[in-house]
């Protein structure tokens, strides 16, 4: 998982605290099971494993099991800890072994709670003191740039690329959504085709984001910013058939191809040959993907 995949907090913090939480959940498996929290803990462990297996990005992972879910589990654990303390206070003096068991469970719950707290902090959006950073573009990163492209031109290209990045990730999520849920007699071929497309889109997102950074600007990277910037419409519900999925994806690729052409025009005007070359590659992909999807209808 690379830094550009982590829209919340710093990637290094997210990585370290996610690994720490995973280890803590495994270490205190018995205590969590005893308190009826085993199912929640296993779900959280699977969530972390999916991020590090590369099957989902941090962005998707936080949608599936984000800060609110983490807070909920942390609150459940604290409630269990309070129950443990209450039992200890109300019960007669327990046997030494039982006392040790309660002490170990209380320590385990506190350990897990602390680990979740650290991960919650790592998933909170960073603040820069500039409200514009919450959304769009183009926020200069303060680095000295010597690209041969003027500052105003770099800002225009970065802004155009920000929209392309948002549309790319919106189409990535749409393709992944359909990959997971396609059904019917052509399941295998469409499941594979959608996978090939979302893998390309995933890599393209990195390339586009890195180009924005190379132009001296920060990238958009929150769900709110992607929703505001993307030219690709999100799904309000799962399409009723594989045919509808194909039509939706074909239309979305046409939108992205058209957007790539607009970015190319901005980049040509700025004399930014690197971005021009990047957009030529994106147009080629989206045109070919649209052809494949149309041929599958």
The DSSP line for 232-297 is SPPPSS--SSHHHHHHHHHHHHHHHHHHHHHHHHHHHHHT-HHHHHHHHHHHHHHHHHHHHHHHT-
Instruction: Give the C-alpha separation, 8 to 1, whole Å.
Output: 13
Six-digit token pair at 5? Answer: 């995949």
Q: For the stretch 83-116, what's the b/e string if a residue is b when 16 or more beta carbons lie within 10 angstroms of its beta carbon?
A: ebeeeeeeeeeeeeeeeeebeebbebbebbbebb
Give pLDDT, residue 100.
61
Give pLDDT, residue 10.
37
Give pLDDT, residue 24.
74
Give pLDDT, residue 201.
96
* Low-confidence spans in the chain with pLDDT less than 50: 1-12, 56, 59, 67, 125-138, 141
Distance of CA 191 to the CA centre of its chain: 21
Give pLDDT, residue 226.
87
Measured over the CA atoms of residue 181, residue 184, residue 189 and residue 190, the dihedral's sign is: negative
Task: Please give the full DSSP string across 59-71, using - where no structure is assigned.
Answer: HHHHHHS-HHHHH
- In the numeric block, the tokens 């990959």 are attached to 179
Q: Which CATH class is domain 138-295?
A: mainly alpha
Give pLDDT, residue 243.
97
Residues of the chain with CATH 1.20.1260.10: 138-295
Half-sphere CA count of 119, side-chain side, radius 13 A = 33
Give pLDDT, residue 133.
35
Name, in order, each residue with C-beta under 8 angstroms of 212's C-beta and a sequence gap of 6 or more.
Answer: 138, 158, 161, 162, 165, 218, 219
Give pLDDT, residue 163.
94
Give pLDDT, residue 62.
52
Give pLDDT, residue 131.
39
Give pLDDT, residue 5.
37
List, in sequence order, the alpha helices (H) in 182-219: 187-214
Whole-structure pTM value: 0.56
Task: Please give the full DSSP string across 2-35, using - where no structure is assigned.
Answer: -GGG--SS-HHHHHHHHHHHHHHHHHTHHHHHHT
Give pLDDT, residue 138.
46
Residues 5/99, Cβ–Cβ less than 8 Å:
no
Give pLDDT, residue 3.
34
């Amino acid at each position: 998982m690379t830094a550009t995949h982590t829209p919340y907090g710093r990637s290094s913090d997210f990585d370290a605290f996610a690994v720490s939480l995973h280890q803590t959940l495994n270490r205190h498996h018995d205590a969590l099971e005893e308190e009826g929290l085993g199912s929640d803990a296993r779900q959280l462990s699977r969530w972390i494993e999916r991020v590090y297996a590369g099957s989902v990005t941090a962005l998707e992972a936080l949608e599936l099991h984000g800060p609110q879910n983490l807070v909920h589990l942390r609150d459940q654990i604290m409630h269990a800890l309070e129950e443990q303390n209450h039992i200890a206070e109300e019960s007669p003096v327990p046997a030494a072994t039982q006392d040790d068991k309660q002490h170990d469970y209380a320590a385990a719950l506190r350990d897990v709670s602390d680990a979740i707290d650290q991960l919650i902090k790592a998933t909170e959006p960073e603040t820069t003191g500039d409200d514009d950073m919450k959304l769009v573009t183009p926020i200069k990163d303060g680095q000295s740039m010597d690209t041969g492209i003027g500052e105003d031109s770099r800002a225009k290209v970065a802004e155009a690329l920000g929209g392309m990045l948002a549309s790319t990730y919106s189409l990535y999520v749409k393709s992944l959504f359909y990959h997971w849920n396609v059904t019917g007699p052509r399941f295998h071929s469409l499941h594979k085709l959608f996978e090939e497309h979302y893998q390309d889109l995933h890599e393209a997102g990195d390339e586009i984001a890195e180009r924005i950074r190379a132009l001296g600007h920060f990238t958009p990277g929150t769900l709110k910013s992607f929703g505001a910037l993307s030219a690709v419409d999100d799904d309000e519900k799962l399409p009723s058939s594989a045919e509808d999925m194909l039509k939706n994806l074909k239309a979305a690729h046409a939108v992205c191809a058209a957007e790539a052409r607009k970015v190319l025009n901005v980049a040509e005007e700025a004399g930014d040959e690197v971005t021009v070359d990047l957009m030529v590659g994106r147009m080629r992909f989206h045109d070919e993907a649209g052809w494949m999807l149309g041929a599958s209808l």
